[in-house]
Chains A and B, each alone.
Chain A
Amino acid sequence: MTDRTFLWLAQVFYAASCVITLRRLRLGGGGPELQRLNYVVMGLGFALHTVFLYLRGRIDGRCPLTNLFETQAFVAWAAVLFFLLIGPSYRISFLGAFTAPLVLAICLTALLSPIDVVHAGSINRSPWIEFHAAIAILAFGAFALAFVTSAMYLFQERQLKTRKLSSSFLLLPSIEQLDVIHFRLLIMGFAMLTVAMIGGAVSYHIVGHWTEPKIVWAIVVWVVYGALVLARGLRTVRGRKIALGSMASFIFMLVGFWGVNLLQP
């Protein structure tokens, strides 16, 4: 059994969570039992996901972020971590319904793409770099959940605006709650990204490397999310526009991340 098997097994649980969601939609909520079951299933998926990362990390004794495959799996793991932390504490119903498919998509594209290649260059074992990378990935996890809550916001807002209510209308949280939680996730993600940037600056001594694609990309992502946090914080923009901005930023970040990693392995 390879470490990848554990990641595949985790996908079985994430897929099961999607099935539970469909069942809950059919039943009009299905009571707290199904919601609890969903957390348990996501929790088991998370545990297997963690085993995968642990086994990967043991191979060369460092944070499993040596290639695009590992990074993607790590981002998905961070998203599930935030889901498990935020879902029950803020009582956001149906957060899992939107999180599980996103996590499944990120992991499956990673598992099915030929990107799990052994890092060609020498691996830098500086703890600073590992710290910087791990914090950055956690920030991506928060932004992934911000993407999820934005999608929920836009879906619910559209129903309210068009007056066409689907069967999921009563099951989804209020747009105000989604707006507030989305903002908190943006702040968390941005704070972690800032720490990661500082860590990166210290570890790479980036002065003189400003034109490297990865650094340019990182600075642009930081500026974009900074602008979102500022706009929402000052209440100049809120609701729908912030949600759209957050979704666009996350997609930009993912696409850019693929791009720079393929350009500069």
Chain B
Amino acid sequence: MNLFVIGLSHRSAPVELRERLAFPRASLGEVTVRLLESARLHEATILSTCNRVEIYGLAANATEATRAVRRFLHEHHKLMDSVDAHLYEHRDNDCIRHLLKVACGLDSMVLGETEILGQVKDAYHSAQQAGTTGVVLNRLFQKVFSASKHIRSTTAITRGSTSVGTVAVDLAEKIFGKLPRCTVMVIGTGEMSEATARALRSRGAGAILVCSRAQERAEALASQLQGRAISFEQWPVEFPSVDIVISSTAAPHPIVTKEKLMPLMKARRQRPLFLIDIAVPRDIERACGELESVYLYDIDDLQQIARENIAAREREISACEALLVQHLQRFADWLEKNRSALEERYSGAGRASTAATPNIHAPSNVAFNK
């Protein structure tokens, strides 16, 4: 009896291939039931996200089972050419290790990201509801969830933001605390300034003002961000009431200078001002950052912080793996202790849903060691 995973991810396959192999969420349960029957698996769970498609299973013989799963993937997705070169396989302890790494975000495109844990939970719940998980996968996923929580909370693997927009939000929160009382002004529209404004809005930033030389673009972005468009000439008028400025105009020279800013800061009574300059060439004179209560960050500063945060996460990998081994060992020991009982049980019944009622945590007829 083997645990196995077979799948592809952003590491092994391009997005064109990943999207062809993806399973829509709505049909996940039904597909898993069909997979279980066609590949003659004891238990199975399908994890399908934009970065990975993986099938976790328990079978009497992993070699036969993975061959059958590959066949199922080809038939189900009506693939004309072979995808074998992009598929990877892990068995038993390697399979457990892989699932732990995935759930902790160690195998993610953005190291340590937390969204994947929710996706693994969703995948497990779909399978559980469809009755395709049994004693082994139920226990495995539960243990992986608690291990992931433990590893994430006792290491710095999730710490620090890794994109320009979220780094800007972190900085804003460390200046102002709560953002709802903050007014944001976006000067000039662009992809990066929009992403930054959106990130601020998603963390609860208050009013958003958008101004651009192209009034239509300003209005379009303002409506997307539920903000207010103002004319380009109006921005100095609104400036004293603004806390965060995101600037990304195509102007060849700085539009905010220290000289212009000094009287405005007086009018603000030295309330902090966070200036985010995304434009190249820069919109805000570097000397503005010398003024008291003014915090100026340009695109290079933000990218540098994002890079440092990623590097800091990378330094945590070894600490995560040390913890991961402990969790892996505990589950592997349990599986080994109960192997003969499980084999006996599945040799009679075949698959999870017929072996016993679905969602069981302990069988009725066999005593399992904890």
Contacts and interface: CB of A to CB of B under 8 A. Distances in A.
B285 to A, nearest CB: 16
Contacts of B153: 30-31
A163 B297 CA distance: 8
Nearest to A237: B270
A167 B297 contact: no
A176 B154 contact: no
A179 to B, nearest CB: 9
Given A27-B156, A161-B295, A238 B175 contact: no
Residue of B170, B269, B289, B292 with highest tally of chain A CB at under 10 A = B292
Interface in A119-151: none
A206 B194 CA distance: 66
A251 interface: no
B317 to A, nearest CB: 14
A29 B154 contact: no
A160 interface: yes
B175 A160 contact: yes
Interface residues of B, number: 26
Contacts of A235: 269-270
B295 A28 contact: no
Contacts of A31: 153-154
Given A28-B155, A31-B153, A240-B292, A169 B174 contact: yes
B312 interface: yes
A67 interface: no
B159 A176 contact: no
Main secondary structure of the interface of A (DSSP, over half): loop
Residue of A27, A237, A240 with highest tally of chain B CB at under 10 A = A27
Contact of A30 (B154, B170, B176, B270): B154
B305 interface: yes
B340 interface: no
B119 interface: no
Interface in B18-76: none
A176 B272 contact: yes
Contacts of B269: 235, 238
A4 to B, nearest CB: 38
Nearest to A178: B177
Given A167-B156, A239-B272, A161 B170 contact: no
B272 A156 contact: no
**Contact-residue size bin, chain A (C-beta under 8 Å from the other chain):** 20 to 34
A241 B305 CA distance: 27
Interface in B132-186: 153-156, 159-160, 170-171, 173-177
Contacts of A29: 156, 159
A176 B289 contact: no
A261 interface: no
Given A160-B295, A238-B270, A174 B175 contact: yes
B174 A167 contact: no
A186 interface: no
Contact of B308 (A161, A165, A174): A165
A28 B159 contact: yes
Interface string A9-35: 000000000000000000111110000
A102 interface: no
Interface string A167-181: 101101111110000
B301 interface: yes
B224 interface: no
Contacts of A30: 153-154
Interface string A70-87: 000000000000000000
A27 B159 CA distance: 10
A227 B312 CA distance: 44
A251 B175 CA distance: 27
Nearest to A238: B270
Contact of A176 (B156, B175, B292): B175
A156 B308 CA distance: 18
Nearest to B289: A161
B293 interface: yes
A170 B159 contact: yes
A235 B267 CA distance: 12
Interface in A176-197: 176-177
A170 B175 contact: no
Contacts of A167: 156, 312
Contacts of A176: 175-177, 272
Contacts of A28: 155-156, 159
A233 to B, nearest CB: 12
A176 B269 CA distance: 14
A173 B177 contact: yes
Contacts of B156: 27-29, 167
Given A31-B153, A176-B175, A235-B270, A170 B289 contact: no
Contacts of B154: 27, 30-31
Residue of B289, B293, B308 with highest tally of chain A CB at under 10 A = B293
Contacts of B171: 160
B301 A163 contact: yes
A156 B173 CA distance: 12
16 contacts: A30-B153, A30-B154, A31-B154, A160-B171, A161-B295, A169-B174, A170-B170, A172-B174, A173-B177, A174-B177, A175-B175, A176-B177, A176-B272, A238-B293, A239-B270, A239-B293
Given A28-B155, A160-B175, A237-B270, 15 more contacts: A27-B156, A30-B153, A156-B174, A161-B289, A165-B308, A167-B156, A167-B312, A170-B174, A174-B175, A174-B177, A175-B272, A177-B177, A239-B292, A240-B292, A240-B293
Closest 6 CB pairs of A and B: A28-B156, A174-B177, A28-B159, A31-B153, A177-B177, A235-B269
